[in-house]
């Protein structure tokens, strides 16, 4: 069974790919991150903390591509959710505010 811990080990490599200069690499990394989100969402609601997996990277990256693409990942996650109760508002707002601080 896939858990957030087992899926979380792929997140750093995927987020690193969001900074790649090739658009196709960034697009595929986004698709993979959204795939992780969907897998987590299909499991127990208490274990679906996708935002917690990507939140450390929202402000710790010096690459603007990574910050921009993570904002896109957040937006896609919200749109796919259909239920904003899937997300903790403080985590989401804090992450977006960090990105907009640039």
- Which DSSP string corresponds to 21-84? SSHHHHHHHHHHHHHHHHHHHHS-GGG--HHHHHTHHHHS---HHHHHHHHHHHHHHHHHHS-G
Polymer length of the chain: 102
Question: Where exactly are the structural domains of the chain?
Answer: 4-100
State pLDDT tens for residues 48-98. 677 778 878 877 777 888 888 888 888 888 888 766 666 666 667 777 776
Q: What Cα–Cα distance (Å) separates residue 98 from each residue in 11, 39, 56?
A: 19, 26, 11
Cβ pair 92, 75 in contact under 8 A: no
State pLDDT tens for residues 31-46. 999 999 888 887 766 5
């Amino acid at each position: 069974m896939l858990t957030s811990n087992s899926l979380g080990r792929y997140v750093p490599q995927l987020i690193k790919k969001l900074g790649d200069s090739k658009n196709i690499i960034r697009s595929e990394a986004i698709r993979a991150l959204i795939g992780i989100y969907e897998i987590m969402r299909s499991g127990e609601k208490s274990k679906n903390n996708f935002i917690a997996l990507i939140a450390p990277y929202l402000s710790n990256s010096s690459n603007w591509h990574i910050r921009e693409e993570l904002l896109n990942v957040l937006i896609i996650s919200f749109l796919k959710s259909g239920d904003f109760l899937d997300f903790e508002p403080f985590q989401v707002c804090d992450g977006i505010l960090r990105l907009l601080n640039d």
